[in-house]
Structure formats: C-alpha cells, structure tokens
Amino acid sequence: MLESLISVKEGLKSTFSIFYFSSLITLVSFIISFLIFKQDVGLYTVFFITFGLTPFMYKLNLYVGKKEFSAEERRKRSFLSFYREIILSYAAVFAGITLVLSLLYLLLPYEISERTFKTQIEEIKAIRGYFSFGGTFQTIFINNVGVLFLSFLLSFLYGSGAIFILSWNASILATAIGMTAKTLGGIKALPLAAMVYFPHGSLEILAYFLAAIAGGIVSYFSLKEKLERYVLEDAFFLLSLGIFLLLIAAAIETLSMLL
C-alpha cells in the first residue's frame, strides 16, 4: 500500500514529496522492526526500508533509463542535467532516512537507543578503531572506493541491492549524528552534529549515488540489448566523477582527523 502513495511523475515534480515518502517509509519500517524484531531493530529497519523503497526507486530508474536524446540534444544540454532528477531523488530519499533515524536515536531513552541501534553503533566503533590504528588517506579512500563499486555492481545486478547500501549508509550516518548530538546537548545540537559529518560525508554519499545511477542505466540498456556507446561513456563519467569526489572526501576526512 505504501508504494502507491507516490508516483514517479509526482516525485519528480516535487523532491519534497520523495523526502516525505522516504521519511514515512523509514518511520513505518522502524515501528515494525521495533515491535517484531527486537533482537536487532536497526538492521531489520534497513531491510524494511529497502523493501519499501524498491518499487518506487525501480520505477524511477526505468523512467530515467527510457530517456533517450539525440546527439544534438545532448550537445545543447550539460551532462549532469540528464541525471539531475534522479540525483535529487536519491538525495531526498537519503535525507529522509537520515533525518528520521537521527531523531529516533535522540528521542529514545539512552538505554533503548543504544540497544536499538547496536549494529550501527558497533559498525561506527569498528570504523573509528580501524582509522585510529594506522588510518590514512589511502585506507579511507580504498574503503570508500570499495563501497562505490559495490553500489555500482548491486545496482547493475540487483536494483534493490544499491538501495540497501544507501539505506545502510544512511542509518550509519544517522546514528553517528545522533550520538554526536547527544553529547552536544540533544535535539537542539542536531544541525551542529550534522555539520560535523557534512564536509566529507556529503561527497561520499553523492559518489555512491552516481555509482548506483551508473549501474542502473547500464543494466537497463543491457536488458534492452541496446547498449550504445554514449551509455557506457555516461556510466564511465559518473564512476570517474564519483572516484574524484571520494578523493576530495578522503583528503577532507584525513585533514579533520589531524586537526
């Protein structure tokens, strides 16, 4: 029923409607997981978010994939304008998931939030520990590039796999923001806590979006047996741009760790 609340055309007309839709899916997913799967609410929430968003995101990928332009049209328009709609849609979905889970982490009593998001907290501690012991620009960059190619591969082979990666990363970021905000004073510190991760985190997430989009368009045209050269060129450009963004993000994160 939830997937029928918004159509692709409605979503593309208003990015905010996608944001509200993903926020609702996240809240419902959390409630279901909290009531039924108490042993690992955080992880099951990510699974249910993936299930809830897959129909809409699949239709969105098909819509974008069906857009074919002549050579003249492609010369007149900037490259990223072809994918502007889907990039904004991915951003709205990610923002909705992150905001809702951050608020839930902050609003729940400490003991419950720690238990509810235990898998995400363990992952954050593992990441911090990994980078604390010999973490360098190289290790950060290689780790992020691995996630980027995983996003591409899962989007190419199995569309909902890329959505799971994005949902998982959103839950990790939301937990990290929530943890930071709690130490800084609670909900009122949420914007400040978000800004702690925004400089490098936003670039990393955008890179993963681009990889997922690249995998989606290659997958679509492969199924149509119409894998034209410009499709491969677009996918290569999106991946290259993603890697470039990860280089900048790794440099910013490394610098922030040294300060």
Q: What is the pLDDT of residues 122-139, one digit of tens each?
A: 888 777 655 554 557 788
Contacts of 130 (CB under 8 A, 6+ apart): 139
Alpha-carbon radius of gyration of the chain: 19
What per-residue confidence (pLDDT) applies to 102? 94
Going from N- to C-terminal start, the domains of the chain cover 2-258
What per-residue confidence (pLDDT) applies to 55? 83
What per-residue confidence (pLDDT) applies to 88? 85
What per-residue confidence (pLDDT) applies to 258? 63
Q: What is the pLDDT of residues 229-257, one digit of tens each?
A: 777 888 898 899 999 999 998 888 777 76
Contacts of 243 (CB under 8 A, 6+ apart): 145, 148, 207
Successive 10-residue mean pLDDT values, the chain, 259 residues: 63 81 94 90 92 82 60 52 78 93 92 89 74 66 89 80 85 92 85 86 88 82 69 86 92 74
